[in-house]
Copies of this chain bind each other. A is one copy, B any other.
Amino acid sequence: MYNILNNRIQCSKCPIRHRAICAHCEEDELALLEKIKSYHTYRANQPILWRGDTMPHFSSVVSGVASLTKSMEDGRTQMVGLLLPSDFIGRPGRSIVEFDVTATTELTLCSFKREPFEELVRNIPHIAHRMVEMALDELDAAREWMVLLGRKTAQEKIASFLEMLVRRSGHPDQSNHSVDLPLTRDEIANFLGLTLETVSRQMSTFRKNRVIEFLDRRHFRILDMQALHLATGDDADGSILS
């Protein structure tokens, strides 16, 4: 199912060191995590966990993207979370997964075995604290997404999605940088509560209006950041506040 790599990356040199579950840890605490960690890699489209599975690990996304999805019996699917680098999978006290987890791109996880990690959560306040912080961040994100799903138009959904990708891509808000599109049209549709045809049409509209430009199907560039933000509906007057 997956490859286990050597623990070659030192925590102190880890690209997600300051954003992941270990963010608040001191050097000595890091050393404890270092002892129990292992890396796993997955191919694009590879399932990681199915709903109902018992989760043997807690993991941080080191690189790549994974999706959390829930499906109804008739096949309708809704993505309920997108895991980008530094995001965390797993919750103390609960070993049963409530959704399917899938790698949408090539993915590397930094994983910790259940028991020793829960032990560390109990004993290292820096980890427990970061855990709560990240759970609450996720809750905020989920609520923001509820507004998108319940009230935004297709156009606004696409704009919000693209803006989120730009924001989390690293290049603060500058245009002219290539941004990775880590999902297929169908996956985007499942994220936004749309059909893949609607996703395609709305993205074409933005392309035709020269708001974005596609380098290829999986990479785009922002041509007009302000127009994109205006289209999200988040800031009706499009003012440059905040």
- Tell me the bound Cα distance from A114 to B237 in angstroms: 36
B136-A73 in contact (CB<8A): no
Per-residue CB contact flags for chain A residues 83-104 toward chain B (1 = under 8 Å, else 0) read 0000000011110001100000
Contacts of A77 in B (CB 8 A): 151
> Is A36 part of the binding interface, using a Cβ–Cβ cutoff of 8 Å?
no
A236-B73 in contact (CB<8A): yes
Report A150 CB to chain B, min CB distance, Å.
3
Per-residue CB contact flags for chain A residues 105-133 toward chain B (1 = under 8 Å, else 0) read 00000000000000000000000100111
B91-A136 in contact (CB<8A): yes
> Is A31 part of the binding interface, using a Cβ–Cβ cutoff of 8 Å?
no
> Is A234 part of the binding interface, using a Cβ–Cβ cutoff of 8 Å?
yes
Also in contact, A237 and B73, with CB within 8 A (given A94-B136, A136-B94, A193-B151): yes
Residues of A within 8 A of B (CB): 68, 70, 72-74, 76-78, 80-81, 91-94, 98-99, 128, 131-133, 135-136, 138-140, 142-147, 149-151, 192-193, 233-237
